[in-house]
Structure 1
Amino acid sequence: MLRGRERRGVTPAAARSGGAAPARAGRPAPSAGPDERIRQLEARVAGLEASERTPATERDILRKAAEYFAGETNW
């Protein structure tokens, strides 16, 4: 559970107090130029897309395992 919070940028102290961490890693710096900001946003989008694929992959693996074990049960 803690790993998920770390990926979202919430520190353990902020998680206990209910608030988010003041400095989030994926957020572009306000003083960055337009090109740098675009690069940062593209990196953030790529990271979010990768994190979106993970639960889908895990779900597919669990579905296949459930189908396999349901077929193995011959009472």
Structure 2
Amino acid sequence: MADDLGINHETLRNWIRLDDAQHTGTSATTPASMSASSEDENAALRRRIRESEEERDILRKAAKYFAGETRWWEP
């Protein structure tokens, strides 16, 4: 499900824990563990951005290549 939402698995797990804690009235995590979790999430997001930028660059190069190879206007 986390993949469908485009988020880290740990992020979804933390959200579920926080939601459960709100319904039961207990504390789900300590601030220190939230900080580490946030750092993990940020690292995962940075990786994902880097991968997306690489994919974008590849697609741009491919589009430019195929646009140059295609001659729709010539007989």
Per the shorter chain, which TM-score range?
Answer: 0.5 to 0.7
Structure 1 unaligned segments of length 5 or more: list them: 10-22
Q: Which amino acid aligns with 1:8?
A: I
Who wins on radius of gyration, i.e. which is larger? 2
Q: 1:1-75 counterparts in 2 under 5 A?
A: 4-5=3-4, 7-8=6-7, 24-27=12-15, 30-74=27-71, 75=74
CA RMSD, aligned part only? 3.2
Structure 2 unaligned segments of length 5 or more: list them: 19-26
Secondary structure of the residue aligned to 1:8 is: coil
Could you tell me how far apart the structure 2 residues matched to 1:40 and 1:3 are? 15
TM-score normalised by the chain length of structure 1: 0.53
Higher relative contact order (CA 8 A, sep 6+): 2
Alignment correspondent of 2:24: none
Higher helix share: 2
Could you tell me how far apart the structure 2 residues matched to 1:32 and 1:43 are? 15
Question: Sequence identity of aligned pairs in percent?
Answer: 33
For residues 31-59 of structure 1, the C-alpha deviation after alignment (integer angstroms, 9 at most, x for no partner) is 43332221111001111222222322211
Stretches of 4+ aligned residues off by more than 6 angstroms: none
